[in-house]
Amino acid sequence: MSRSAIVWFREDLRLHDNPALDHAVQHFDRVIPVYLHTPQQGGHWRAGAASHWWLHHSLKALDADLQQAGAGLLIRQGDSARQLLQALVRETGATSVVWNRLYTPWAVARDIAIKTALTGSGIAVHAFRPSLLFEPEAVLKDNGEPYRVFTAFWKRCQTKSLYQALCDTPSRISSGDLPHGIPIEQLGLLPAIRWDSGFYDHWTPGEQGAYAQAGIFLDEDIADYEHNRDIPASPGTSRLSAHLHFGEISPRALMNRAVQRLDEIGSATARQSVTRFMAELGWREFAAHILYHYPASSDESMDARFAYFPWAADDAAVLQRWQQGRTGIPIIDAGMRELWHSGWMHNRVRMLVASFLTKNLRIHWQHGARWFWDTLVDADLASNSLGWQWVAGCGTDAAPYFRIFNPVLQGKKFDPDGEYVRRWVPELRAFDRKYLHEPWRLAGQCDYPAPMIDLKDSRAQALAAFQSLRR
């Protein structure tokens, strides 16, 4: 009798280095690749609009790649992944279900429940390595506690082998006739009002797009990463975050190539760049580690004192000016408009807009995290929560609260010619670089808004608010 396995794709939308798929292809006669769309999963952190856009195109790409290998992607939609899987097991006669582990807290709870239900009815469940370099339980302090400080965490990771064996891409997948599924279009992932038109200029979701982007970055741009990664106008970073989030490329594949590059590259500065990139992959690991060990950290400040922080009263109009990039501070508005237009924002600018929101405007970091969640194509609960808490000063290993970015000085330092601001804030295109980051010095010369807040006063008020916590 032929043995069938269901491969449940989740945040691993790839064929290369996909341990669950590899296992199924090696050990079963029939492999049924499945994606289950359960839009309510994740509760109040269910996927946002920009993530849905990416997912639509990524599923299309995966389906095409699977078809090339002789299979195809079976898609079902519903409220409960468990019920959908149980129905598929009945319809296909599958004896096993395989997946790669996820570590977002809601996914951990769901997967445990599904495993219990399936094994209870005689179906074997096998879970494989996640799209992480290390399992969160595998990197702990000597006393068994999780790390809270990145440098110590990353040092520990580096005592393990960063170069890891990868699974091959299956050349042939025998799925037989698949039961009926629904077309990807029917999932309704694309927006009805087409605000996404700008996204197409920036991204090619899917495994091939991921490898093309990784190739450009790791073969060429990485040598200057250490310097260029802070320049928002330059294409100096890898732009792989969304590909990584959806698992279109595994961090192991990226890390292996980075390790090879260290051997190939002679110049000390280029080697420093590669090491820096490896550490950034380390930050992604650290974020997953923190969310797994501190599951409340997506919703609550890790520093308990911040429960008493005097955040500003909710004011929808103020928040909207930030969201829409109409604060009157050029680098902030450029970042927020880049986000809206492309679904992504440069890391340095993410830090600036987050600091402006949580410190100058004193708006709770959760409001910022939620806006990012809906608008980022790389929205990732672990990295987003860590990033916001880090900037707000309330996270583990966070920037000290008193370090409040001055967006004018930061603009002058990291966008000295104003190329980034001009790209995203057309009202300021004609401005001389001398005034570009402080257009209010030439009041009345264009219809760009005046700053919505005094940077110096708001900084002083934020520091006083923080002092009140210390008292």
Ligand X SMILES: Cc1cc2nc3c(=O)[nH]c(=O)nc-3n(C[C@H](O)[C@H](O)[C@H](O)COP(=O)(O)OP(=O)(O)OC[C@H]3O[C@@H](n4cnc5c(N)ncnc54)[C@H](O)[C@@H]3O)c2cc1C
| Residue numbers at the binding site for ligand X (CB under 6 A) | 229, 237-241, 244-245, 280-281, 283-284, 287, 347, 350-351, 354, 372, 376, 378-380, 383-384, 386-388, 391
Residue 328 C-beta: closest distance to ligand X, Å:
21
Residue 124 C-beta: closest distance to ligand X, Å:
33
Please report, for residues 4, 6, 40, 138, 180, the alpha-carbon distance to residue 91 in angstroms, rounded to integers and kept in the order given.
11, 11, 24, 38, 10
Q: Which is nearer to ligand X, 223 or 351 (CB)?
A: 351
d(C-alpha 355, C-alpha 116), whole Å: 44
Q: Cα torsion for 326, 332, 337, 340, to the nearest 10°?
A: -110
First to last CA, the chain: 72
Q: Which is nearer to ligand X, 92 or 238 (CB)?
A: 238
Other beta carbons within 10 Å of 372:
23
Q: Which of 293, 250, 301 is nearest to 108 (CA)?
A: 293
Is there a contact between 298 and 385 (Cβ–Cβ < 8 Å)? yes
Q: Which is nearer to ligand X, 173 or 354 (CB)?
A: 354
Q: Token pair 């945040």 is at which residue? A: 11
Residue 213 C-beta: closest distance to ligand X, Å:
9
Helices (H), strands (E): how many in the chain?
20, 5
Determine the length of the chain.
471
Residue 38 C-beta: closest distance to ligand X, Å:
21
Residue 347 C-beta: closest distance to ligand X, Å:
3
Q: Which is nearer to ligand X, 74 or 287 (CB)?
A: 287
Q: Token pair 């090696």 is at which residue? A: 26
Tokens standing for 148? 């809270």
Q: Which is nearer to ligand X, 8 or 277 (CB)?
A: 277
Q: Which is nearer to ligand X, 96 or 384 (CB)?
A: 384
Please report, for residues 52, 173, 263, the alpha-carbon distance to residue 70 in angstroms, rounded to integers and kept in the order given.
27, 5, 38
Residue 419 C-beta: closest distance to ligand X, Å:
18
d(C-alpha 122, C-alpha 118), whole Å: 7
Residue 241 C-beta: closest distance to ligand X, Å:
3
d(C-alpha 23, C-alpha 35), whole Å: 17
Residue 336 C-beta: closest distance to ligand X, Å:
12
Q: Which of 136, 34, 143 is nearest to 86 (CA)?
A: 34
Residue 249 C-beta: closest distance to ligand X, Å:
10
Q: Which is nearer to ligand X, 63 or 285 (CB)?
A: 285
Q: Which is nearer to ligand X, 89 or 255 (CB)?
A: 255
Taking CA 44 as the corner, what is the angle to CA 42 and CA 50, rounded to the nearest 5 degrees?
80
Phi, psi of 451 (to 5 degrees): -55, 135
Q: Which is nearer to ligand X, 352 or 453 (CB)?
A: 352
Residue 137 C-beta: closest distance to ligand X, Å:
20
3-state secondary structure of 36: strand
Is there a contact between 213 and 82 (Cβ–Cβ < 8 Å)? no
- Tell me the Cα Rg of the chain: 23
**Beta partners for 32?**
6
3-state secondary structure of 104: coil
Residue 192 C-beta: closest distance to ligand X, Å:
24
> Which residue's C-beta sits nearest to ligand X?
387
Q: Which is nearer to ligand X, 373 or 431 (CB)?
A: 373
Q: Which is nearer to ligand X, 123 or 281 (CB)?
A: 281
DSSP annotation of 452 = S
Phi, psi of 36 (to 5 degrees): -110, 120
